[in-house]
Structure 1
Amino acid sequence: MRPDRSVLSATRRREEIAGLGDREVDMVVVGGGVTGAGVALDATSRGLSVILVEADDLASGTSSRSGKIFHGGLRYLEQLNFGLVREALLERDLMVERLCPHLVQPEPFMFPFTRRWQRPYVGAGVALYDVFRLSGPRSVPGHRHLSRRAALAEMPELRPEGITGAVQYHDVRVDDARHTMTLARTAASLGATVLTRARVVGMLRDGERVVGVRVHDLEEGGHADLTARVVVNAAGIWADEVQSLGGQQTIAVRPAKGVHLVVPGDRIESRTGLIARTKDSVFIIRRWFDYWLMGTTDTLWDHDRAHPLASAEDVDYLLGHANRWLRRPISTADVLGVYAGLRPLLASAVGRGGAAGAKTTAALRRDHTVVEGPPGMITVVGGKYTTYRLMARDAVDAASHPLGRALPPSTTERLPLLGASGYDALRHQRDRLAREARVSPGDVDHLLGRYGDLTPDVLDLAVEQPDLARPLPGAPRYLSAEIAYAAHSEGALHLVDVLSRRTRIFMETADRGTAAAPEAARVMGEVLGWDEARRAEEVAAYAQMVDAERRAATMPTDVEAADTWRAATGDLIG
């Protein structure tokens, strides 16, 4: 039987790294975030041979720290960026309709009115949401206007003072890290090579032309040279640094920090999320499975791009906006988790959005840019998570020039991701799957929303090893089988990969997963061959990271948070 090419395992990684110098490929993609994974999938589906290299873990940067939503962007309408909104809405609906229905869920949002002029003004903008979708799928409900009474019934937690009504619309929740990983696995299933913990440290050049990359293997040590007809730089917030390795830098990335808070689901009584204007952006409360997310900030980050951190100033800012709208004030004691991510905005956009020294980045446009230069390299940067597929398509289109040949059109609009094709049929078999694996129907529902029609693969592990059918100690919403599957098939090489990205334990538990870490390390170790010393090392490194982020979040400013992080961390694994 032919092996499953979608499986990303440590064994496969070692074999593929060992054979890197033996072949030339059409394309090397630098960056394992949503854009890089999207490029790898688009290029592979058009018949190109592709190697994707990522310095850390899949989605370890911005793509696991986003707002976790596919959306059109109401605030972009105020920037008159109608094209971006329309594109994003069509992409949003496509995810629900065809590409990854198992990873997404439409969620309602309510914009409360406190002035009478807001109903026609905001209502017109939300109406455009529906107008822009007339030529595409309509899998997400349209908007509706609410009276004052109806608005307070939808969100009993809303302060009633000054509320005159509301408009409600839907956007789409997504587990960003799992979505990005699934993109990469889908590309691998079509023949792409996906290598994590493989840092690009230089470009191979023939004169001024880039003809490949030099990669440092961060797991086993050593270097390998990858020869390619074109290099696509999809490194996100590091895109300018990667471009400069080729001897030319024509872009400058301006990282914008966004912080989100996680609070328990029973802390806010509501059937809907909330979106409200701030002085220069928007504040949003959105449902996140059994929790609520509150976000976001939009400020410059001038420190280590690999470790964006929330400060006390960020937390206080978000709590202040939340308490403006909620009956029962939320305090830091209610906050389960905090995470910060960086948006890769182009500094060249500052001239359109404001002064270069301004603290906020909210006014900068979120359009993406594709540039060729130096010769042999294509860089794609900017954009937003929702439009990753369009960014990938445009980057591969641009690669036809250095490749020296025309490429067939992109097919990813019609290409479901792994787990999607049999998802609907499998949902009807929930009770049978639960009986056979001796888990609860609720456990199967949970798995279906994470793995889709790959759920039987996870349950097979639980049948083969009954102890894996048990809830993970310290994070009982997850089965131990999910930890084993992450190490076996999803490319997880370190404990932090599982607790922060393959699962959501890091952001959903008050201790940020430290209680779950020992058992998770044991289960991973069984798959990856870790001895007791290695397991203890992984647990210690994870606990050190958690402690450093917690300390940083108590510091008043970004500068002090960054200093605290550096003082609290050493050579962390992962």
Structure 2
Amino acid sequence: MSSQKLGARERETAIATLGDPDHELDVLVIGGGITGAGAALDAVTRGLSTGLVESRDWGFGTSSRSSKLVHGGIRYLEQMNFSLVREALVERGLLLQRIAPHLVRPVRFLYPVTAPGIERLYVGAGMLLYDLFARTGGIAPGVPWHRHVGRRRLAREAPGLRRGVFRGGLSYSDAQVDDARYVAMLVRTAASYGAHAANRVRVEGFLKVGERVVGVTARDLMTDAVFEIRAKQVVNATGVWTNDLQALVGERATFSVRASKGIHLVVPRDRFRSKYGLLLRTEKSVLFVIPWGRHWLIGTTDTDWELDKAHPAATAADIDYLLERVNRVLKTPLSRADVEGVFAGLRPLLAGESDETSKLSREHLVAQPVPGLVMVAGGKWTTYRVMAKDAIDAAADALDERVPASITDEVSVLGAEGYRAAWNRRSRIARAFEVHPTRIEHLLGRYGSLAHELLDLIRERPELGDPLPGADDYLGAEVVYAASHEGALHLDDVLARRTRISIEAWDRGASAAPVAAELMAGVLGWSRARVESEVSRYLARVEAERASQLELTDEAADRARLRAPEPSPDQDAEPEDPARSQ
């Protein structure tokens, strides 16, 4: 086992190992999203020497901008894609019960019906099949059976819905997750088993011997240093960037990936009352209204996107579309003034089956376009572990030695072991650390049994137990921990991904930014100029996002969003003091 930390020193050590000319990895994974992180964990737990590099932050792209759902996909039942639904539901059970019970939790939804009789029977049959599939994987599903909800019960349990719109419905359970937090914990888990993981490392080319890929040329974006990484097998798990990376190989792609933009709105939980989340049908797809702590998430759209992949932008038209659709069923309509946050993400869909992104495949493919290179793309967040397994299976088949089978269905994410016992003892823990019980529940739900590490920080520095300005749900200790243990290198890494302040706070994190930057500076050794630069760049990001959300077209929104500056190697090259992250 290696370190459970991903601080500055651990990153430097990983880069030194990756760039060692005398060191050849068995597997190098490119892409630090959910699939890449899963592939690194799969490879290293099979006993393979493993590297993982990400050009930005862990979970920067699609993997931090999803609907936050771990689900089977009700709508795929209508498409008769039973194998995909069953696979996803089995994975849901594993995540809830074994792999990450501290990060994945059940959530109850209402599937409303508008007519009695046949519609209720039709939907009920689908729900029964959904529940049965969830119980076929050899592990308890972790959620209850669906149930029918009559009109009177619906009025009592969801009084925020307009009377007369629905004739009752069916309630069923899926699960939800803080997607970005899960990715960071998954990378840490891979590193704890010995994977060499480094973010802010960009692959700029492939090393080849004849037609065979034998490694990559990479650039450390914190220092601008270029180095080579040697590997017997390279796995391209870059999601919507798959085509771009494939172009560096110089060979024709076996398949292509097409990006579909989906946006979500964040509104306060008190804007309408309901014990359920909602699944609503639209003319194009489905619309979810998802409970999210003290908020609701409303989404999503499904439109083609061919502009900047790093910063997909939500338009005013996207926002109005969601508000108009959800207001059809709400007693008190929502307006733009009710929207706390907005985020946009890109789905990596396998292209070719249809001109409409909503009809492109949600299954995944693994291919080997040239010797030494494995590509994995498509799929959905819930089935990341299966995608990772299939990718490493392909890489392992090309290795000379015999490689053990995947065991990630038995490997828990850091913080899972001991979580349930800690949850049962949360009142005692609260008294021992003199912290309010709700704070303990908050920390356990984000860090699991590792919550004691943050409580130790608070015990040493009581001021770290204070909430951040404008973001009462998050503590100063979480910022310090993100920089010392979770690989956060920039302010937006913390405000947008280690926490969700950028989408949950009314000011999108503007008030928290200066305080968070000072806390990170204490860990990473930032100068005063660096602190001011980080805050200035984050505020520019907030301003650019707000401006983009006033535009009517994707092109105009994209131009507005790209006005915010990106981190530059010159600024990032400022020496840091890794010892301060200990």
Give the distance between the partners of 2:516 and 2:165, measured in 1 at CA: 49
Q: 1:52: which partner in 2?
A: 52
Moved more, 44-53 or 118-127: 118-127
What does residue range 165-564 of structure 1 map to in structure 2 within 5 Å? 165-248=168-251, 249-350=253-354, 356=355, 360-564=356-560
Q: 2:565: which partner in 1?
A: 570
Q: 2:146: which partner in 1?
A: 143
Give the distance between the partners of 2:402 and 2:161, measured in 1 at CA: 56
- Contact preservation (8 Å) 2:349, 2:360: yes
What does residue range 5-20 of structure 1 map to in structure 2 within 5 Å? 5-20=3-18
State the AA in 2 paired with 1:322: V
Shift of 1:33: 0.2
Give the distance between the partners of 1:379 and 1:6, measured in 2 at CA: 28
TM-score (norm 2): 0.95
Give the distance between the partners of 1:428 and 1:273, measured in 2 at CA: 27
Off by >6 Å, runs of 4+ in structure 1: none
Give the distance between the partners of 2:441 and 2:405, measured in 1 at CA: 37
Give the distance between the partners of 2:26 and 2:566, measured in 1 at CA: 35
State the AA in 2 paired with 1:504: R
- Contact preservation (8 Å) 1:32, 1:196: yes
- Contact preservation (8 Å) 2:150, 2:169: yes
Shift of 1:154: 2.0
Give the distance between the partners of 1:468 and 1:432, measured in 2 at CA: 21
Give the distance between the partners of 1:159 and 1:216, measured in 2 at CA: 55
Shift of 1:402: 2.2
Give the distance between the partners of 2:185 and 2:172, measured in 1 at CA: 28
Moved more, 246-255 or 63-72: 246-255
Percent sequence identity is 51
State the AA in 2 paired with 1:93: G
Q: 2:128: which partner in 1?
A: 127
TM-score (norm 1): 0.96
- Contact preservation (8 Å) 1:438, 1:469: no
State the AA in 1 paired with 2:169: A
Give the distance between the partners of 2:488 and 2:67, measured in 1 at CA: 23
Shift of 1:467: 1.3
1:35 matched to 2:35: yes
Question: CA offsets per residue over residues 442-499 of structure 1, 9 Å max, x none?
Answer: 1111000000000001111111112112112221211100100000000000100000
State the AA in 2 paired with 1:195: A
- Taking only aligned residues, the RMSD between alpha carbons, in angstroms, comes to 1.3
- Contact preservation (8 Å) 1:112, 1:151: no
Moved more, 397-406 or 386-395: 397-406
- Contact preservation (8 Å) 1:545, 1:572: no
Runs of 5+ in structure 2 lacking a partner? 573-582
Shift of 1:18: 2.8
Where 1:101 maps in the other structure, the secondary structure is: coil
Give the distance between the partners of 1:441 and 1:525, measured in 2 at CA: 29
Give the distance between the partners of 1:386 and 1:154, measured in 2 at CA: 29
Give the distance between the partners of 1:21 and 1:447, measured in 2 at CA: 36
Give the distance between the partners of 1:12 and 1:476, measured in 2 at CA: 31
Shift of 1:361: 1.4
Moved more, 462-471 or 39-48: 462-471
Give the distance between the partners of 2:111 and 2:468, measured in 1 at CA: 38
State the AA in 2 paired with 1:512: R
State the AA in 2 paired with 1:184: V
Shift of 1:173: 1.1
Give the distance between the partners of 1:367 and 1:151, measured in 2 at CA: 35
Give the distance between the partners of 2:358 and 2:374, measured in 1 at CA: 27
Q: Count the aligned residue pairs.
A: 563
Say if 1:451 and 1:27 are closer, same or farther in 2 by CA, change over 3 A: same
Give the distance between the partners of 1:119 and 1:57, measured in 2 at CA: 45
